[in-house]
Structure 1
Amino acid sequence: MTGKEEKTTLERAELAVQTPIPERRRRRFWLLWWIWAVFGAAVSFRGTLSGSWIAIAAILTAPFWVMFVLWPFFALRDRLRAKRLWAAEVLVLLAPETRGSDEEKTALPVVIVRDGGVLVPLEAWECAFPTIRPEMIPAEVVSAGTYAGVNLPVLREEDLLASGLWSEGKKTPAGASASDLESSGLWVGRLRLAKRS
């Protein structure tokens, strides 16, 4: 086994897409900030009677006090950065592999956009459905960097949903395998359901 492990498409998508700090984590950071504000001084300097012990307590707790002072600036920087970023978060969307089967799942990472849209990384689409190329759908491949913070080529969900490739009367494109077509149809159907909710 080599020391370097291969990254999954989800890990590569998470590395290529810049997202703001999630709301739940931001609340947790503020809670820790308030806990240190309330109890930090009491815990830091409790029982220190002489000047040398106060200095030692100040030195030992200095990193916490520095973070206490800097955290509001970090939070403001993150909020300003979040306003310019296009993506809100990167998630995995699951769909059954075949109709009536729940055992095998098709999993593709998707980029949730601030305004509620969804972007599908092209690499993830090509790995999951190798015989269905974007020009068969037809879907425009949006190049990396078009959306702020999204540094990988993506497919827009509205192109996938509007293509009609997976409708009953549509003819199978040349070169597309039946299993890929069925799996991608189920996945796009799950994307359609997720978009409504």
Structure 2
Amino acid sequence: MPARLPLDEQLTALRTTLSRNHILLEVLARAAALDLPNWYLTAGCLFQTIWNTTTGRPPTHGIKDYDVFYYDATDLSWEAEDRAIRAGREAFAGLPATVEIRNEARVHLWYEQKFGTPCPPHDCVESAIDSFASTTCCLAVRLKEDGDWRVYAPHGLSDIFNLVVRPNPALAPQEVYETKAARWRRVWPELTVLPWPMPSAKNG
């Protein structure tokens, strides 16, 4: 089982598993050509490819979209982000998948209106990934100039390979976590979904 392997072998298993999703590989290659600052391919397309492979499903089963995050604080206007989105629309044309491009330097400008809780400004893409509703989601990869993969996995890979969904109360509200987890369980019923942590009782 990959989750029990040494970390370097887990990384090899990660790349082998993700490489079974040929759409994912094509998104990685085309995203690299866009030359976005501090970009990563992240979120569902990664851990759901692993879930699919682990449970014997087709690699793209249940994947809604492919998220490409980048970080550019030099221009926080919607117009600048929209230019990147339009460039991506051309770059990913013809792929049988939806690719979403977002500048994580702008998240704090719209997050509270969408989710009901304020979001401090992120200082990098990794900071945005750290705030995902589940620690299991905190995974990102990108192609380096030499063609190797840079992997960001602040909580490791064991939960992903073990089909465990673990809450991350760093930012996202409990409702967001539970809504996402319920949808995932419908698509991948083998998942073990851990409950949102209860508030600690105060002394006194």
Q: Which has the larger radius of gyration?
A: 1
Q: Which has the higher helix share?
A: 1
Tell me the TM-score normalized by structure 2: 0.25
